[in-house]
Amino acid sequence: MEPRHVPVMLQRCLDLLAPALAEPGAVVVDATLGLGGHSEALLTAFPDVRLVAVDRDPAALKLAGERLAPFGDRAALVHAVYDELPDVLHRLQIPKVQGVLFDLGVSSMQLDEAERGFAYAQDAPLDMRMNQDVGISAAEVLNTYPPGELVRILRTYGEEKFARKIVEAIVREREREPFSNSARLVELIRAALPQAAKRTGGNPAKRTFQALRIEVNGELAVLERAIPAAVASLAVGGRIAVLSYHSLEDRLVKQVFAAGASNTAPPGLPVIPERYQPRLKLLTRGAELPTEEEIAANRRAAPARLRAAQRVREDAPDERAAP
């Protein structure tokens, strides 16, 4: 298979996870399999590890399965959303894992296949579902959501300053004819924005497309559940690395890691008991960025932000019982 996907910050991810994957029988989770570039590198770099790879997209699982076939039963590929990781590990009878990798956002395969509707640079049906068997499409969101809800989505998920202008135009246009394809939406956004806004920041449609994709796939709600679940799945000494591609994702990851790396003791205790000690140790200072060389070689790496942490303490019994 000719891999179209160039894994982002690949060597740095391997280096961060390596200390946890040295022991024989270690299990590593690729929570966002995509075309399998990171998974293939993990299986190659660590010949004794077992891989659990998760993806919600059946097409990605099929292609990645072909790529990872030479590794035989070292790789278990599972059709699931990454917040379902606890159930996946339970079914596979894996109590704890030594490594977890998330490469968030939309995969290269989904961007490259025009009919999926993720890319604003080519005309295609407005779908944007990572699993096309479930959920509503981007066209349905545009054609049925109340104007106020569309404004909220564009502002919150796309950080679009001109959300109200764009939504006013969308509502006018959908009354004339429902949306079905991306080119019409891109043209509408260009027409709705002030000239000054179109001269900077790349394609003016990118923020709206990002917002629609996040809404269609419930990405932030899923991520809010998935990162704590992944941390909970780590054995002591296990490591987690997360690649984010916009500030909302990165902020969620930062908050979970920061909370895990802080003690939870009430103020004023002279000695902090074990149950209040941090669960996590941060392995990156803030978010690490790709190098200029990598961005030059792979433009999709440009917005990447990498954070990593290590599990340093098991939950106390009363913590495990907590909701």
Tokens of 44: 């190659």
Pick out the residues of the known binding site for S-adenosyl-L-methionine: 36-38, 55, 82, 103, 110
Three-state SS for 1?
coil
8 Å CB contact between 72 and 81: no
- 80 vs 91: CA distance, rounded Å: 12
**Distance separating the N- and C-terminal Cα atoms of the chain:** 45
Helix, strand, coil share of the chain (percent; to 5): 50, 15, 35
Q: What's the maximum distance between 2 C-alpha atoms anywhere in the chain? A: 69
Residue type, 132: Q
Q: How many CB atoms are located within 10 Å of the residue 303 CB?
A: 17
Going by the annotation, the residues of the binding site are 36-38, 55, 82, 103, 110
Cα separation, 65 vs 84, whole angstroms: 20
Residue 129 in tokens: 């579902």
Q: Which of 247, 14, 7, 16 is nearest to 107 (CA)?
A: 7
Residue 58 is encoded by which pair of tokens?
């059946």
Angle (deg, nearest 10), helices 182-192 and 206-217: 130
Distance of CA 61 to the CA centre of its chain: 16
d(CA 156, CA 133): 26
